Amino acid sequence: MATVTTAARLHFGFQNLSLAHERLYGGVGLALKQPQLVVEAEPADTLDCNDDTATPYVRRVLDVLDVPGAAVQVRERFPRHVGLGSGTQLALATLIAVARAHDLTADARTVAPRLGRGGRSGVGVATFEQGGFVVDGGHPTERFTHKPPAEGDWDVPPVVASHHVPSDWRFLLVVPDTDPGQSGSDEDRSMRAAIERADPGIADQISALLTRRLLPAIATRSQREFGGAAARLGRLNGAWYADEQGGVYRPPAGSIVEHLADAPTITGAGQSSWGPTVWGLTDTDGAGEAKEAGYQALAAAGVSGDITVVAPRNTGASLIERE
């Protein structure tokens, strides 16, 4: 039996959505310790899976690895389409678990496109591999000018910068009880629409922000500067998505971000991916006050939701094998 454990990631945004620049996308994000995903696999003659969401990935993995079957159990998981990257983590955890169950090796980065992952952001693959804070280099723009490449006809974007996240930093996660974030064909349509309208000047602002503020902040372990820069990156991305998600942030994320940004113990706040998850940066000493600020933000927005405070993860997915 092979057991793979991985966890969520935050996606702060992209470096560029304009076709006027040479590289498109370029994700920026980091790995979290919670919530976790745990996938177990044993060799079998047919496909047997206890999770309907994982079943299509198991089927594709069996084809990629050219093995007859696997018994796969998803022991622990986190919600889909809330901005925490569950799809990529599930696909890659399934790949590695099934491969090792059959005493095979598989490289997550190489196989990810065949599982439909890494077509835009490379953050999910990179955080599965190594954890930490990562910036990917995006895709050549000319390949995405008219329409995205056929599924699997891409390479996962390369990691161009990575850093450990200070162990005493903590991330408040506020997940309001609203409709799930965009995914699948709806997400593809929204991304194409955003790219067609994207202002190239925003990418220029993000480039300066990344090199002058965000990367120096993580390198020098400056929590306040990192939080402010990551929040700014999210707001700039929101200007690209405003017509597709109903504002700079997807409602009610804007109200939650506004209230968290006013909390003394929180040094930056924003929306992860398409949301609805909102993040806030604090530390171990401020975790309790940050959590209370999260409840107040939900109340101010007039919604209920789930609130956790989690640590960063500076390692990739773990693998345990046993007879």
* Lowest-confidence segment of 182-186, 189-193, 247-251 by average pLDDT: 182-186
pLDDT bracket for residue 245 (50, 70, 90): confident
- Domains annotated on the chain, with CATH: 2-321 (3.30.230.120)
Is the bond leading into 252 cis (omega within 30 degrees of zero)? yes
pLDDT bracket for residue 147 (50, 70, 90): low
pLDDT score of 145 more than 70:
no
Percentages helix, strand, coil for the chain, rounded to the nearest 5? 40, 25, 35
Tell me, what amino acid is at 175? Answer: V
User: pLDDT tens digits, residue range 75-116?
Assistant: 999 999 999 999 999 999 999 999 999 999 999 999 999 999
Spell out the alpha helix ranges (H) of 166-317: 184-197, 200-209, 215-219, 223-245, 253-261, 287-301
Secondary structure class of 182 (helix, strand, coil): coil
CA distances in angstroms from 147 to 22, 195, 213, 217, 243, listed in the order given: 16, 11, 33, 36, 20
DSSP 46-91: SEEES-TTTHHHHHHHHHHHT-S-EEEEEEE---SSSSS-HHHHHH
pLDDT score of 190 more than 80:
no
User: pLDDT tens digits, residue range 76-86?
Assistant: 999 999 999 99
Distance (Å, rounded) from C-alpha 227 to C-alpha 248? 18
Closest by CA to 165, choosing from 22, 283, 2, is: 283
User: Which residue did the predictor score with more confidence, 188 or 258?
Assistant: 258
pLDDT score of 142 more than 70:
yes
Distance (Å, rounded) from C-alpha 305 to C-alpha 309? 14
Joined together, the tokens standing for residue 238 give 């929101």
User: pLDDT tens digits, residue range 247-271?
Assistant: 999 999 999 999 999 999 999 999 9
pLDDT score of 286 more than 90:
yes
Secondary structure class of 33 (helix, strand, coil): strand
pLDDT bracket for residue 143 (50, 70, 90): confident
pTM above 0.75, yes or no: yes
Mean per-residue pLDDT of the chain? 94
